[in-house]
Amino acid sequence: MLKCVIIDDEPLAREVVEGYLKKLDFIESITQFSNASDAKKHLEINEADLLFLDIEMPEMTGIEYLKTLEQPPLTIFTTAYRDYAFEGFELGVIDFLLKPISFGRFIQAIEKVRDFLALKDQNVNIEDNAGEMHGSVFVKSGVQRIKLQFDDVTHIQGLKDYAIIYTHSAKIVIKGSIKAMLDIFPKAKFLRVHKSFIVSIAKITRIEKNRIALNGHQIPIGRNYKEELERVIGEQ
């Protein structure tokens, strides 16, 4: 059951998100705010599992507001500006929804949230001797040891204190930073392209300005990583 908070200065935008949430049977509560100041007071004394946050708002933008929260809930940006939304990944948002928001795309974002929460609870870890493996790594979930082939991994996303490892058919959430993943996954095959993303070089299918198309995902390219990406791609 999810406790949700919506912050948007546009009443219609808030109503759209709330209407979508009311169609779901696992939503415990929905609270709306038209500005970040009132929402901040609410979150200081109330828990929230998921925050829908507009970027362009008067007085304080969504990005400025998120930076003020010490322990923010899982956050989905809602915005009319595609390129601007990618800045949210620097702050660990789990997804962004481009206005006008379709119900289908909304459900994809919600499923991403539910997958993350469910997988996080499985307490999966990469084994300590991971660096000794050549083409794979073992991950430990409870009493199970699962072999993860490097060639099956498409990309890795850092989210708060966790890393989401994506393969063609599954996702694995483990405790650990994106920086720690760089020490495990071979540099000859994987490249950091953003503060919050590592990609499999071989899985890149298209590069469009400041994003990478990869296995149906749009991966942002950080300004500090663009030059290295262009160098590596030029050598392929």
- More reliable by pLDDT, 179 or 123: 179
Task: Taking residues 196-214, report their average pLDDT.
Answer: 91
Task: Taking residues 71-83, report their average pLDDT.
Answer: 88
List the CATH code of the domain at 2-120. Answer: 3.40.50.2300
Query: Where does the chain hold its CATH 2.40.50.1020 domain(s)?
Result: 124-234
Q: What is the pLDDT of residue 214?
A: 87
Q: What is the pLDDT of residue 143?
A: 66
Q: What is the pLDDT of residue 17?
A: 98
How many C-beta neighbours within 10 Å does residue 200 have? 21
- pTM > 0.85: no
pLDDT for residue 129 is more than 70: no
pLDDT interval class at 45 (50, 70, 90): very high
Closest CA to 73 of 93, 95, 102: 93
List the CATH code of the domain at 124-234. Answer: 2.40.50.1020
Residue 31, Cβ density class (10 Å: 0-12 exposed, 13-18 middle, ≥19 buried): middle
pLDDT interval class at 132 (50, 70, 90): very low
Average pLDDT, the chain: 88
In sequence order, what are the beta bridge partners of 77? 53, 96
At 91-117, the pLDDT tens digits run 888 998 999 999 999 999 999 899 888
Residue burial 34-57, b: 16+ Cβ < 10 Å; e: rest? bebeebeeebeeeebbbbbbbbeb
The pair of structure tokens assigned to 98 is 């481009």
Query: Where does the chain hold its CATH 3.40.50.2300 domain(s)?
Result: 2-120
